[in-house]
């Protein structure tokens, strides 16, 4: 069937924007929304999800190149240079730049070999996440285009000078659009399983990239775990939603009097216990419970703990769930304010991208006001520097946290 889609001299299909919709792209924002296009491609156009496309302004000026997909975000821009080829050399340059930035902030180091190498739009590779655990890279594709480029990307990761990665595990079964029917398989692209222990600030952790959430470990809390360690000495610590027990291990390292880890998942509790044992064998200061977090807080004695961590999973993965999520944050934090001992410190977080910093802070403020406690902000925290936010893509800031002193 005949199509009215033009093609560039290099054969890329050209998707044209409605008048005025090029303004955000001229400011280097990497997303093209479907509503900004004069029309979405149809079957007769011969454009498949994950294909490279050129994006043009309404006057025909080529703005750049990106990956096409069906959805509200129609194109994720890879380059704003109309002449740049998206090939192995392109990924080599982007990955080398990402590694150079990590080296500038001291990663990896003698004490830390667990870090994020690629943070999607923050590293100008939208749709791609790569976490490093020693000699293993765990790659996640969030777009069909990155899924199709996975083998090239894996080759370029292992070729990075001085990184020392020999294994690349691909883990995208739950991150790619279901309707794209890509049926990705979690498996090694390069290398094989060697070991699953990584080091963070001198502490060691079992990383379960085979069965765990995300890439197996939340490297985005590294700086906040370190901060928690500074406040832990002599305190009774409660780590809610503990998952792999990262905060628990740091609390023990910081000299906590006791640490209680709580998670509804028995698998998470087993991993927490294993990580505690790896760093503090036979340490009686740590206890763990597999139980619902809200029920545990409700049944807990007032003043039992003077340091509480609330790091729940995302309450809102989409904007449609925003109000429900805010109610959840208010309820959770109100329980913590009611239960924490006077002079206690509360670390409270939201990793929901749909909840912005102001909305989260208001939810916590409302919870504090409900309880009548005197609350002071000690720190306002976010994701670490190896999860950079492109200045052109503020949506990349997703982790929000408050460290609060409660009288």
pLDDT digits (tens, 9 = 90+) for 252-268: 999 999 999 999 999 99
Catalytic residue among 351, 354, 363, 403: 351
- The C-alpha atoms of residue 76 and residue 66 are separated, in whole angstroms, by 5
CATH number at residue 342: 3.40.50.150
**Residue 297 Rama label (left phi>0; alpha psi -120 to 50; beta):** alpha
- 118 and 74 share a domain? no
Residue 349 pLDDT more than 70?
yes
Pairing of strands 197-200, 167-170: unpaired
| 108 upstream amide cis, omega within 30 of 0 | yes
- 300 and 324 share a domain? yes
CB-based burial, 209-238: b 16+ in 10 Å, e otherwise = beebebbbbbbbbbbbbbbbbebbeebbbb
Which one, of 39, 42, 86, 80, lies nearest residue 62 by Cα? 80
Task: Name the domain count of the chain.
Answer: 3
CATH number at residue 127: 3.30.750.80
What Rg value do the Cα atoms of the chain yield, rounded? 23
- 250 and 391 share a domain? yes
- 228 and 330 share a domain? yes
Mean pLDDT of 142-149: 97
- 363 and 260 share a domain? yes
Residue 351 is a catalytic residue: yes
Q: What are phi and psi of 102, to 5 degrees?
A: -65, -40
Residue 3 pLDDT more than 90?
no
Mean pLDDT of 46-63: 96
Last residue of a domain, one of 170, 199, 228: 199
E strands, 69-119, in order = 73-79, 114-119
pLDDT at 183: 84
In a domain, 210, yes or no: no
pLDDT at 2: 59
- 115 and 261 share a domain? no
In a domain, 225, yes or no: yes
Alpha carbon separation from 382 to 83, 159, 357, 365 (Å, rounded): 36, 31, 10, 18
Q: Which two tokens stand for residue 116?
A: 């994020």
- 73 and 112 share a domain? no
In a domain, 126, yes or no: yes
Q: What is the dihedral of CA 61, 63, 66, 70, to 10 degrees?
A: -60
- The C-alpha atoms of residue 117 and residue 98 are separated, in whole angstroms, by 6
Q: What are phi and psi of 225, to 5 degrees?
A: -65, -40
In a domain, 140, yes or no: yes
Confidence of residue 43 (pLDDT cuts 50, 70, 90): confident
pTM of the complete model: 0.95
Residue 381 pLDDT more than 70?
yes
- 151 and 238 share a domain? no
Q: Are 388 and 123 in contact (CB under 8 A)?
A: yes
> How many residues belong to the chain?
407
SS3 of 90, please?
helix
CATH number at residue 38: 2.30.130.10
Mean pLDDT of 290-305: 95
In a domain, 112, yes or no: yes
In a domain, 99, yes or no: yes
Q: Are 375 and 340 in contact (CB under 8 A)?
A: no
Q: 114 is in which domain, residue-wise?
A: 88-199
Contacts of 17 by beta carbon, 8 Å cutoff, 6+ apart: 25, 32, 36, 37, 38, 55, 56, 57, 58, 63
pLDDT digits (tens, 9 = 90+) for 173-188: 999 987 778 989 999 9
pLDDT digits (tens, 9 = 90+) for 208-233: 999 888 888 999 999 999 999 999 99
pLDDT at 48: 94
Q: Are 260 and 237 in contact (CB under 8 A)?
A: yes
pLDDT at 316: 65
Which alpha helices (H) appear in 134-180, and where do they start and end?
144-148, 150-158
């Amino acid at each position: 069937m005949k199509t009215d889609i033009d093609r560039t001299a290099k054969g890329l299909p050209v998707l044209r924007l409605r008048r005025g919709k090029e303004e955000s792209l001229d400011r280097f924002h990497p997303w093209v929304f479907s509503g900004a296009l004069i029309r979405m491609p149809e079957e007769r156009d011969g454009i498949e999800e994950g294909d490279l496309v050129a994006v043009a302004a309404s006057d025909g000026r080529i703005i750049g190149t990106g990956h096409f997909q069906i959805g509200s975000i129609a194109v994720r821009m890879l380059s704003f240079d109309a002449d740049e080829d998206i090939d192995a050399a392109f990924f080599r340059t982007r990955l080398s730049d990402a590694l150079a930035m990590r080296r500038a902030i001291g990663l990896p180091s003698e004490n830390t070999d667990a870090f994020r190498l690629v943070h999607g739009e923050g590293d100008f590779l939208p749709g791609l996440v790569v976490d490093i655990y020693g000699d293993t890279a765990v790659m996640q594709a969030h777009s069909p285009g990155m899924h199709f480029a996975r083998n090239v990307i894996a080759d370029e990761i292992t070729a990075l000078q001085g990184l020392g990665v020999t294994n690349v595990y691909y883990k995208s079964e739950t991150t790619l659009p279901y309707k794209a029917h890509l049926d990705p398989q979690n498996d090694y692209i390069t290398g094989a399983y060697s070991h699953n222990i990584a080091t963070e600030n001198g502490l060691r952790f079992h990383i379960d990239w085979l069965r765990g959430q995300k890439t197996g470990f939340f490297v985005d809390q590294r700086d906040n775990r370190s901060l928690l360690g500074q406040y832990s000495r002599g305190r009774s610590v409660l780590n809610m939603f503990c998952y792999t027990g990262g905060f628990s291990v740091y609390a023990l390292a910081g000299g906590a009097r006791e640490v209680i880890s709580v998670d509804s998942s028995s698998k998470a509790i087993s991993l927490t216990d294993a990580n505690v044992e790896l760093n503090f064998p036979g340490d009686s200061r740590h206890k763990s419970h597999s139980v619902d977090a809200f029920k545990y807080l409700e049944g807990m004695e007032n003043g039992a703990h003077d340091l509480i961590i609330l790091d729940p999973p995302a309450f809102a993965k989409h904007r449609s769930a925003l109000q429900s999520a805010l109610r959840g944050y208010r309820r959770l934090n109100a329980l913590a304010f009611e239960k924490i001992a006077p002079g206690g410190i509360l670390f409270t977080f939201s990793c929901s991208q749909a909840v912005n910093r102001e909305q989260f802070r208001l939810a916590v403020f409302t919870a504090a006001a409900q309880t009548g406690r005197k609350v002071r902000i000690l720190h306002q925290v976010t994701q670490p520097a190896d999860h950079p936010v492109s200045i052109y893509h503020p949506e990349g800031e997703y982790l929000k946290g408050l460290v609060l002193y409660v009288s």
